[in-house]
Structure formats: C-alpha cells, structure tokens
Structure 1
Amino acid sequence: MTDRTVRRGAPTSLALYDATARDAAAAVISQYSTSFGLACRLLGNRPRPHVRSIYALVRVADEIVDGPAEAAGLSPAEAEVVLDELEAETLTAIERGFSANLIVHAFALTARECGIGEDLVRPFFTSMRTDLSTSDHDDASHDAYVYGSAEVVGLMCLQVFVNAGSTHPVAPSDVLVDGARRLGSAFQDVNFLRDLGHDETALGRDYLGLATGATTRTAVLDRIDGDLAAAASVIQLLPSDCRRAVTAAHDLFAALSERLRRSGDTTARVRVPDPVKARIALRAVLGGSPRGARA
C-alpha cells in the first residue's frame, strides 16, 4: 500500500494533500476562465483534473507578468525573480513529487503521471519571462513566444490526453503533436487579436507586429484559420474522453475568429455570446465533428 492509497474510506495525509492541491487548481480555472472552464467540464474524469492543474500553473505564471504582481508593488526585476522561483520550484517538484505550493504540487502530480518534462516546462517560463523585457515582436520572436506560451501548453495537454491513468507514459504520434501545436498557436493568436487594445495601451506590447506593419490583421486571421483547419483534422484521433472538450474549444475559437474578421473595431474585445457558447458545447457533446474537419 502506497502513501497515496485510501484506507477505510479516509484519505491518508498525502492523498488528502494531493486532493486539496487539485481542488486548488480547479478553483483557479473556475475564477479565471469561463470559456476554458466550459471546455474542461466536457473532458472525461480521467483527463479533467490534470488539465485543470496545467491551466492553474499557467495562469499563476501569467499573473506574475501581466498585472497583479505589478499592482502588488513588484518591479519587473522583482517579478522576474518570482517567476524564476516558480520555475525552479516546479522543476524540483516534478523531480521529488512534492511542493509546499499547492498549485505547483498539483501540476507536478500531473507531470509525473503523464510524462511532462523539462523540455516543455522551460520554454513556457522562457516565454513568460519575455513579457518582462520585450514589447515589440517580429515574426521570429512572435513564433518563439507562441511556441513557449501556447504550443507547449497544448503539448502538455496532449501528454495528459494520451497518458493520464497509464503506468508508463508514451510519446504521442507526430500527427497529434502537430495538431496540438497548431491549435495552441491559433488560440494564442486569437487572444492577441482580441486583446489588441489592452495589450497596446495597458501593457505596451505588440505581439503580432501590426503596429510596425510587419504583418496585417487579415494575414493573422488567415494563419489562425489555417491552424484551426489543420487541428480539426486530427481531433478525431484523440481518445474518446477528450474529443468533445477539444472540439468545443476549437469551435469556440473558430467562432471568435469569424467575429474578429467581421469586426471593424480593432480596440473592442470580441466575445461569443453565452447562448452561442451553449450551442457550441451542445454540438460537441452530441458528437459533432469540429468545424472545418474533413469528412
């Protein structure tokens, strides 16, 4: 019997700590993201807690560089120290299987079970660190930032989809890896366009190079739609307890992309109305194919 087993219906101290850490991660997603939270609820019981744990760590890191740390009085240099400490604690927790930080502990449990390693963790923190030092991006820095901030998060989730509940994690297929990366990239570029006004005025950042004329809004939307189409074609290859959630997330961002293309106001934050979100979720629950998927 291991330390994480349940004895006579009551969790051991470590099992209770694990459960509390996962509950803390679930609280983060419930407070911060209605759209991602909706998609997460469509996941099966096997992958759901792990995806919540990934999102929670990502959200905490993002908050260090995107406002709350500054509002608490931290300078960019101090915020970078906090981010470095979080990265170090995360990597240490994956190795040892324990952290005094509940969000890090929850992520480490997922990483150890599903095969998420340093090769995915470090690029994520590198991109977060970029937000403290880089305001304007060209094509190369955009691609590097998106890889670390979004594509690797998609790859972390893919590790969960393939490996949650297994004894020995395996590497996903190349086609699934490509689909996860392109879906993550599409999500990030949609968010860049949605938050364009806030990023420019409040944060002083130009992730897409629109201000310098390095690219155009139409070119970005064309790239998003190409990435969404590529991702749609491989969602059917995911385990059955993941497809509905990924389809719902894909179709939500496809709807956002459409609305962004129709909108003439680049400063207003485009959103999908709740009734439309509900229809997207229902269609996914009923087993509909992702929008744009080949028949």
Structure 2
Amino acid sequence: MTGRTPAADALELYDRTARDAAATVIARYSTSFAIACRLLGPRPRPHVRTVYALVRVADEVVDGPAASAGLSTDATRAVLDDLERETIAAIERGFSANLVVHAFARTARECGIGESLITPFFASMRTDLAVRRHDEDSHSAYVYGSAEAVGLMCLQVFVNAGARRIEQPPPALADGARRLGAAFQEVNFLRDVEHDTRALGRDYLGLSPGGLSRDDVLDRIDDDLAAAAAVIPDLPRDCRRAVTAAHDLFAELARRLRDGGTAGGRVRVPDIVKARLAARAWAGLSPLRERRR
C-alpha cells in the first residue's frame, strides 16, 4: 500500500474523528446541552461532549431503540453490559473500535474519570430494565448513578483537562456538581412523568396523595440549584459561563413546572428565552436565584 499515515498521525486523526462523533451525538439529541457546551472554553469543551455522548448512548440503549430493534430485556441488558466492559477496557488500553467509547476513554485517561464513577452510572442504567417503581432508597441510588456521577465526571474535566497531573476537585465543588446533577435529573423526572409512566412503565418519584408531592420535589430542586449556584464562581473561568447557562435553563424549567405543571404537555423553555439565558451567562452574570413561593 502507498500513502500510509504514520502511526502517531493516524491516532491523532482517529481521536479527532471520535470527538466529532461524540459532538454529533450531542447535537442530535440535546439542542439545549449543545448550546451550553458552546459556552465552554476550548480546553474542556471536547471532553464534556465525550462524557455526555457516552451517557446518551447508554441511556438510549435502555430507553427504546434497542427494544424497537427487537431486542428482549435480557438482550438489551447484555448490550449495556458489553458497553460498560468496553468502556472500562478502553480506558485501560487507550483505544476502542467504538468511536464514542474511544472518545470517552481518551477523556477519562486525561481527566481521571475511573470506575468509581462509571460503575454507578451503568448500574443506574441497568435499573431502568428491572425497577418499575422507586422507593426513597432506590431513588437516591438511581439519581446518584444517573446524574450526580455524571456531574462529577464533568467536574473532573473542568479541573483536569489539559493539566500536567490529575488532581481531585475540592469537596465544595464536588458537592455542587452532585447537587446540580440531581436537580437536572429531578426536573426531567417531573417534565417526563406522564411519558415515563405511560410509555416506559416507570415511576421515579413515587408521588402520592399524603406522601411526596410535586411541590416537595420542586423545593428539593430549588435547594439543590441554590447550593450549586453558590460554588459556580469557584469553577475554572473557562467553565463558569456554560455551567451558569445550564443552571439557569433548569431553574427556568423548575419555575415553569411550578407555575404550569404538565397539564399542557411537556414543559419547555422557548428558544428566545434560551437565547436570553445564554446571553446573560456569556456576559458573566451570576446564576439565577429562584425564590420559592
């Protein structure tokens, strides 16, 4: 053969292609996240995209496409198990034939994302194949794996992308990352409660008369958003705008959920409001603080 690419250049090209694949996943599945991600600096941006691409692919495995392709629950679980094993193996060897996994593995190696965060995430994804109604304990475990651990992965990126050596984030930032992830997840639970119940047969919140109410969940969300907002100024400068934009988008969703519920369909933030929130974040304004009514 002629025109063979040198090995080092070939890996660089493969890395770029893998990162482009991750960016495509995010652009197709989450316009809101894609907007927020553009507010990140060039140092953390590609790494955060790779984290969310892997998370999205795993989430899609359990949320419909696999079943639509004719896979049984056991077969879907096997696909998810294979994805977890390939992810961990790719981190160890620095390569995967799966482009999204490869991109994530390169990020994990550079930023110090290990099995202590990956294993709980995949455990929560497996829960979606087995648990239909969550109690308080299973809810907490699910939220940790599916959302808080992802927030901690992103924090590892914020602190370590491009650094000479990996450092552990300060405890206050770790708590803020967890609470912001939890708030995002619980907003989505409330937005999707009808779809989750009717289409997927899942009850994540266990709302009931005389028990946990929507207002209880919204109060918890507001508390978590406030705690996260307090530490956003302590993040690296090239991450603050994007995290502020994401925080403010979910604060706006929480406000609309409190005002209008879900009677009119899935609560959304209009594009013009998203643009306004992104603009204020770009201007360096502080995160929004929602006053509970």
Settle same-fold status: TM greater than 0.5. yes
State whether structure 2 residue 159 is matched by structure 1 residue 162: yes
Give the drift of 1:268: 1.7
Following superposition, the deviation at residue 139 of structure 1 comes to 1.0
C-alpha contact 1:221 1:261 (8 A) present in aligned 2: yes
2:68 is aligned with 1:71: yes
Indicate which of 120, 128, 132 corresponds to 2:129. Answer: 132
C-alpha spacing 1:82/1:291, structure 2 compared with 1 (3 Å): same
Which segments of 5 or more consecutive residues in structure 2 lack a partner in the other structure? none
Matched, 1:193 2:190: yes
Structure 2 CA distance for partners of 1:213 and 1:118, relative to 1, 3 Å: farther
Partner of residue 53 from structure 2, selected from 24, 32, 56: 56
Are the structure 2 counterparts of residues 265 and 26 from structure 1 closer, same or farther at C-alpha, using a change threshold of 3 Å? closer
> Conserved in 1, the CA contact under 8 Å of 2:191 and 2:262?
no
| Mapping of residues 21-100 of structure 1, within 5 Å | 21-100=18-97
One-letter code of the match for 2:241? R
Cα 1:214–1:89 change in 2 (3 A) is farther
Equivalent residue of 1:233, what SS? helix
Structure 1 distance, partners of 2:107, 2:87, is 12
The match for 1:204 is 201
CA change 1:266–1:211 in 2 (3 A) is: farther
Match of 1:115 in 2: 112
CA distance in 1, matches of 2:238, 2:282: 11
Normalised TM-score (structure 1) = 0.94
- 1:73, CA displacement in angstroms? 0.4
Q: Scaled by the length of structure 2, what TM-score is found? A: 0.95
- Residue 217 of structure 1 pairs with residue 209 of structure 2: no
Task: Report the AA paired with residue 178 of structure 1.
Answer: D
In 2, distance between residues paired with 1:61 and 1:224? 25
Post-superposition offset of 1:110: 0.3
Which deviates more from structure 2 when the two are superposed, residues 158-167 or residues 207-216?
207-216
How many angstroms apart in 1 are the aligned matches of 2:94 and 2:193?
39
For residue 247 of structure 2, the aligned residue among 246, 250, 270 is 250
Identity, in percent, stands at 69
Q: How does 1:173-184 map to 2 (within 5 A)?
A: 173-184=170-181
Displacement of 1:211 after TM fit?
A: 4.9
Do the aligned residues in 2 keep the contact of 1:190 with 1:253 (CA within 8 Å)? yes
**Matched AA of 1:72:** A
* Equivalent AA in structure 1 for residue 282 of structure 2: V
TM-superposed CA distance for 1:267, in Å, is 6.8
| Whole-angstrom CA distance in 2 between matches of 1:211 and 1:73 | 34
1:275 and 2:272 matched: yes
Residue type of the partner of 2:224?
Answer: D
Deviations 1:198-230 (A, max 9, x none): 000000000000158641100000000000000
Q: Is contact 1:197-1:267 (8 Å) kept?
A: no
Structure 2 CA distance for aligned equivalents of residues 235 and 81 of structure 1 = 39
2:258 corresponding residue in structure 1: 261
| 195-204 vs 258-267, which moves further | 258-267
Query: What is the CA–CA distance in structure 1 between the aligned matches of 2:279 and 2:15, rounded to whole Å?
Result: 32
Equivalent residues of 2:111, 2:156 under 8 A apart: yes
In the alignment, the residues of structure 2 paired with residue 90 and residue 273 of structure 1 have an alpha-carbon distance, to the nearest angstrom, of: 36
Q: What is the identity, as a one-letter code, of the residue corresponding to 2:134?
A: H
RMSD after superposition = 1.6
Tell me how far 1:265 sits from its aligned partner: 3.4
Q: Which aligned segments of 4 or more residues in structure 1 are displaced greater than 6 angstroms?
A: none
**In structure 1, what is the Cα distance between the partners aligned to 2:100 and 2:141?**
26
Q: How many residues align?
A: 286
Contact residue 163 and residue 170 of structure 1 kept, 8 A: yes
CA deviations on 1:230-259 (whole Å, 9 max, x unpaired) are: 000000000000000000000000000000
